Chain A
Amino acid sequence: MTWKDGFILAFHGMISNKLRAILTMLGVIIGVAAVIVLVAIGQGASSMVTSRIETLGTNVIFVSPAAGTPFPVSETNIVAHALPFSLQVVPSMNTGSKVSTLTTQGSAQIAGTTPSYLRLGGISLAAGHFITPEEVSASQHVAVLGANQVSNLFGAQNPVGSSIMIMGQKFQVVGALNAVGQGPGASQDNEIFIPITAAQTLFRTTQLSQMIVKTSNPNQANLTADYLTNLYTNEFGSSTAVSVASEDQVLLTLQATRATFTNLLAGTAAIALLVGGIGIMNIMLVSVTERTREIGIRRALGATREDVLLQFLFESMTMSLSGGLIGVIAGLGIMHLVPLILKTPAVFSPAALILAFVFSTAVGLIFGLYPAIKASGLDPIHALRYDG
């Protein structure tokens, strides 16, 4: 039997029993479609995260203390002048708190910071102005609201000029931010920014939560991170208590996380494909039993054991290949619907498509092998006598 005959035969078999063929292929169809869609969602999520990070720039370093380590505001100046090139050092003092207006209430992340925070990038003003140097030196009770805080507390109204209560103290809203969106930077949408001086009295501490350091040249970021680590080890003797992470490192961590995420999704889909393969094997085993007599007839007419083996192998492979093809089409279709329905981006991955296709072919081959071996091993006399 030639390869061409094998495929023609398998194809005719499939057409002559369409419902069964579809049911047999269903597992592979779902598996392949799942690989394509889930990987696209995984890639979409990570591309969103990465693009958010990239808007901040790769020249940002985060310095944060471990719990219980002193990290006073006064260190801001030391760090700012520690290196021979200019550094922008933004102190940040954070805490969660209830907030309210006369009519509404909610919760927010309160961040005490300085005007330079705006220059880190990533946020922009929708109305009013950001904290000014004058407001910081005068320790004024003014606040700038993240987008979610605006909508939670004021709805569609312009909040600028209104007052809000934070920890029992009255603050005047002087600015509102544009929405940042999802991703790790999304916290800014839930934040309320106040002058760091006001925060010190409000929180009753001089302890910083974080120092955000920005170099003017991206090439200086890693050098600065190294220098700061060194500084904290030697001058303050607390390298383990303070962690210094450059944007690059954060990005690497995120990439590792996203790779794990994508692998997890791909793994889930691979299991679906495996289940599809077992489905093919089951139906092929039933098919071999049903067609025992046919196998006997073919053997009586001159088919070798290899001919029979190939016939059934072609059949399972045609089945899984067709399932793979339908799965690819279905997967691409669903992938285009994902952004509309789930409101998350989906990024097509050619590698996932090729992988899914290769995998489904392999599934047909591997799971078709056992039934095919069984068919080829049948004794022709018994097969001819079989009535089923």
Chain B
Amino acid sequence: MIQVTNLVKDYTLAAQVYRVLNGISFTIPQGMLSAIIGPSGSGKTTLLNILGGLDSPSAGQYLLNGRDVSHFGPDEWAHERNHTIGFVFQSFQLIPALSARDNVALPLVYRGIPQRLRRIRADEELEKVGLGHRIHHRPQQLSGGQQQRVAIARALVANPPVILADEPTGNLDHATGLEILEILRQLSQAGKTVVIVTHSQEVAQVCRQVIEIQDGHIVTNTMEMEHSL
């Protein structure tokens, strides 16, 4: 579960202060599939980076799974990301020199898991995203959709409860984008908290919670109730 209260982010550029996030408060429950939408430059990426501890807020409170992480330092965050957060990026962010398997296994390296076990786990995750036959391929030898699936496998390999995805379908064609979205939707159904930053209305419609921000403010926050029961 993600809870933020009065989150503020200022950037200082040439002695001028820019307020990119101006008092953001919301709650994303565990197992939710959540979309953050808004115009370009509204602060979506900044918000997601703060949720993942890559960036730090100027003010406000952040509770991650009930723990106050507002004042975590870089190394506490490194540990936190390794254990509770899986990142998926628009530009995939795979390491070109490494095979699909070694890319997927990366988070486990920083848990001190031995190489043999890392490979077994990585192969399992690649199998799940339908790339069991591509474990030795380098990123350049894979299509965009395949690269994004490798990135998802990497986000999942350490089994984190939270997945943060910044425009995960932004660099993919329509059909491939829908495939990736379906994988993320199933993950939320399996109990993971999935937050997707997106420009796509179609993606947002699939999500059960939609948070819209504009100029650093939340303009709407709608959550669909669980009807399926």
Name A's B-contacting residues (CB within 8 A): 1-2, 5, 8, 13, 16, 293-294, 296-307, 380-381, 384
Contacts and interface: CB of A to CB of B under 8 A. Distances in A.
Contacts of B94: 297
Interface of B: 49, 52, 54-55, 74-75, 78-79, 81-83, 87, 89, 93-95, 97, 106-107, 109-112, 115, 154, 158
A299 B112 CA distance: 15
A303 B78 contact: yes
B49 A298 contact: no
A2 B158 CA distance: 17
A380 B74 CA distance: 10
Contact of B110 (A1, A8, A13): A1
A304 B89 contact: no
A304 B106 contact: no
A296 B55 CA distance: 12
Given A13-B97, A297-B93, A384-B89, A302 B49 contact: no
A314 to B, nearest CB: 13
B107 A302 contact: yes
B50 to A, nearest CB: 10
Given A302-B78, A302-B82, A306-B75, A1 B109 contact: yes
Contact of B154 (A13, A301, A381): A301
A138 to B, nearest CB: 92
B54 A381 contact: yes
Nearest to B83: A302
A302 B97 contact: no
Contacts of A302: 78-79, 81-83, 107, 110-111, 158
Contacts of B81: 300-302
B75 A304 contact: yes
Nearest to B96: A294
A307 B75 CA distance: 10
Contact of A297 (B83, B95, B111): B95
Contacts of B54: 299-300, 380-381, 384
A384 B164 CA distance: 15
22 contacts: A16-B97, A294-B95, A297-B93, A298-B106, A298-B110, A299-B78, A300-B52, A301-B81, A301-B106, A301-B107, A302-B78, A302-B81, A302-B82, A302-B83, A302-B110, A302-B111, A302-B158, A304-B110, A305-B74, A306-B75, A307-B110, A384-B93
Nearest to A300: B87
Nearest to A302: B82
A298 B75 CA distance: 13
A2 B82 CA distance: 15
Contact of B93 (A1, A293, A304, A305): A293
A298 B107 CA distance: 8
The prevalent SS among residues of A at the interface is: helix
A168 B52 CA distance: 102
A301 B82 contact: yes
A67 B81 CA distance: 86
Contacts of B89: 384
Contacts of A298: 106, 110
A279 B213 CA distance: 50
The 10 closest A-B pairs by CB, nearest first: A302-B82, A302-B110, A304-B78, A304-B75, A301-B107, A302-B81, A297-B93, A380-B54, A294-B95, A300-B87
Contacts of A380: 54
A2 B106 contact: no
Nearest to A380: B54
A5 B111 CA distance: 11
Contacts of B93: 293, 296-297, 300, 384
Nearest to B46: A381
A8 B55 CA distance: 31
B157 to A, nearest CB: 9
Contacts of B52: 300
Nearest to A2: B112
A315 to B, nearest CB: 13
Contacts of A384: 54, 89, 93
A155 B99 CA distance: 74
Contacts of A13: 97
Given A293-B93, A297-B94, A297-B95, 19 more contacts: A1-B109, A1-B112, A13-B97, A294-B95, A294-B97, A297-B106, A299-B54, A299-B78, A300-B81, A300-B87, A301-B81, A301-B110, A301-B154, A302-B111, A304-B74, A306-B75, A307-B110, A380-B54, A381-B54
A381 B55 contact: yes
A123 B128 CA distance: 89
A350 B94 CA distance: 47
